Amino acid sequence: MGLYVKTPIVLAFFFYLFVVLLIGIIAYKKTKDISDYILGGRRLGALVAALSAGASDMSGWLLLGLPGLVYKEGLRGLWLVLGLLIGIYLNWKLVAERLRLFSIKFGNSITIPEYLENRFSDSSGILRCISALFILFFFTIYTSSGLVAGGKLFSSIFGLPYFYSMLFGALAIVSYTFLGGFLAVSWTDAFQAMLMLMALLIVPIFAYKSIGGNYELGVCANFFNPFLDESGNNYTILSIISLMAWGLGYFGQPHILARFMATKSTHDIKKATVIGVSWSFLAMSGAVLAGIAGAFYFKHTLQDAERVFILLVQSLFPQLIAGVCLAGILAAIMSTADSQLLVSASALTEDFYRAILRPNANQKELVIMGRATVLLISLVAIFLAKDPNSKVLDMVAYAWAGFGAGFGPVILLSLFWQKMNKAGAIAGILTGSFMVIIWRNLSGGIFDLYEIIPGFLASLCCAIVFSLLKR
């Protein structure tokens, strides 16, 4: 009987998976060399570039982590949304066009480590290796957060054990990334962005209709006050700054920067800016409203706040519609995990294998190596994601801070400061990354500040100082 009830959801999910796999097969036929596999031959239009950048940015935290944060802590989560929207706008406005032009000007670079090596004329390969190592480290954590979100989704819907649910999600993501590379990832991300947005706009509307006039929260009256915590105390400046500081992370996210580099023209970037910022605003607004609706609907009775969107969908809709909305969650998870897998694979293939081990490798060999590294990194991420108690937002926060602090200042200075050099770039990446790792393991007082802030500032200062010392 239980299987029969869930049959429409199963059908919706498998139809969705069939579509993304079909896209992967089409992209496979268009992938001729390593540039196609890693950067899609720089032929993304404005719509695909904007939607795929947004989808790869938001990940499972948009439909699990953010509604869960609002459900648990109320409108204090708006500080996070505000910081992210500012960061998204500035990233498109300041970085996108310049990075596309610079990545072509400096050796037609197709990865961030290669761009940094060419930009600062580093013949030693040290800068490229350091960049690739930290990309692999933080992206493996980031990818595992997506697998955790997938495990929670499938176990909630189908009642499967968490580990097998997580494996099924990993298999779905790896299949089309393995086949089609960057084109498959970007096209599926654009499709998934529309599916995510539809789910985020529909669910709050139906939730509020279902609640009717029953607006008793059963929680503290401070839920709607972004300046007060649950006890009625003022929300600390440290907490507000920490949430808004998420916006700093955008300048250093390789999977988002890759969309800028792959856009067809600078004219497309201008149009993509409007599309990308608008999509992000609508999507995050829907996630916040879903969290508020969940607080009304469940009256804070959920043990795992990150399941609030899933449970709303299951409670509000017939099985077939629920399947489509839940596929939106899977889309959010897959749209980021696939990008992270691909950037990690490019770091291994292009920045280690070709740059160091096999400089004369042909294009076919490099594409095969790229697909093999997708499988390898997936296995490591699966191992890290095997704990069902992992929190998606916590894992994303760690990796996000690592990229934002380690690469953000270096990317910005490489685009806007002519005196920046190799010494400054190496110092900035090392200082920012290690500051995040160290700060993450400290707590209490000033150490409760989100680690991206000290990491970003330390990276910026060291990059400037070492560049001036080594002029």
Burial class, 204, CB count within 10 angstroms (exposed 0-12 / middle 13-18 / buried 19+)? buried
Contact 44, 261 (CB under 8 A): no
Task: Kindly give, in sequence order, each residue whose CB lies less than 8 Å from that of residue 393, ignoring residues fewer than 6 positions away.
Answer: 61, 64, 65, 66, 68, 69, 306
Task: Kindly give, in sequence order, each residue whose CB lies less than 8 Å from that of residue 200, ignoring residues fewer than 6 positions away.
Answer: 62, 63, 282, 283, 285, 286, 287, 290, 328
How many whole angstroms separate alpha carbon 199 and alpha carbon 311? Answer: 13
Q: What sign has the CA pseudo-torsion 173, 176, 180, 183? A: negative
Contact 446, 427 (CB under 8 A): no
pTM: 0.85
Closest CA to 49 of 237, 270, 241: 270
* Positions of E strands within 59-143: none
pLDDT at 252: 92
pLDDT at 231: 66
Q: What is the dihedral of CA 45, 272, 67, 56, to 10 degrees?
A: 40
How many whole angstroms separate alpha carbon 315 and alpha carbon 442? Answer: 40
pLDDT at 35: 66
Architecture of domain 2-391: Up-down Bundle (1.20)
Closest CA to 70 of 190, 189, 224: 224
Ramachandran angles phi, psi of 402, nearest 5°: -60, -45
User: Any bridge partners for residue 228, and if so which?
Assistant: 234
Q: What's the one-letter identity of residue 281?
A: F
* Secondary structure class of 442 (helix, strand, coil): coil
Domain coordinates of the chain in residue numbers? 2-391
Closest CA to 142 of 380, 316, 351, 301: 380
Contact 152, 307 (CB under 8 A): yes
Task: Kindly give, in sequence order, each residue whose CB lies less than 8 Å from that of residue 213, ignoring residues fewer than 6 positions away.
Answer: none
* Secondary structure class of 387 (helix, strand, coil): coil
**Residue 328 Cα distances to 49, 189, 471, angstroms:** 19, 11, 51
Task: Kindly give, in sequence order, each residue whose CB lies less than 8 Å from that of residue 250, ignoring residues fewer than 6 positions away.
Answer: 57, 84, 87, 88, 90, 91, 256, 404, 408
Burial class, 389, CB count within 10 angstroms (exposed 0-12 / middle 13-18 / buried 19+)? exposed
**Residue 253 Cα distances to 135, 223, 286, 291, 423, angstroms:** 9, 32, 24, 26, 21
Task: Kindly give, in sequence order, each residue whose CB lies less than 8 Å from that of residue 257, ignoring residues fewer than 6 positions away.
Answer: 95, 99, 112, 411
Q: What is the pLDDT along the chain (471 residues), one digit of tens a residue?
A: 344 346 777 777 778 778 877 877 777 677 666 666 666 667 778 888 888 888 778 766 788 888 988 888 888 889 999 999 999 999 999 999 999 999 999 988 888 888 999 999 998 889 988 998 888 888 887 778 778 877 877 777 777 788 888 888 788 777 766 665 666 667 777 887 888 888 888 988 888 888 765 555 545 567 788 887 666 677 788 889 999 999 999 999 988 898 898 888 888 898 999 999 999 999 999 999 999 888 888 877 777 787 888 888 888 888 878 887 777 777 777 767 777 777 777 777 777 777 776 777 777 777 778 778 778 878 888 887 887 776 666 777 888 899 999 999 999 999 999 999 999 999 999 999 999 999 988 877 788 899 999 999 999 999 999 999 977
Task: Kindly give, in sequence order, each residue whose CB lies less than 8 Å from that of residue 397, ignoring residues fewer than 6 positions away.
Answer: 246, 450
Other C-beta atoms within 10 Å of 312: how many? 25
* Secondary structure class of 62 (helix, strand, coil): coil
Burial class, 318, CB count within 10 angstroms (exposed 0-12 / middle 13-18 / buried 19+)? exposed
Task: Give me the residue label for tokens 């004329």.
Answer: 121
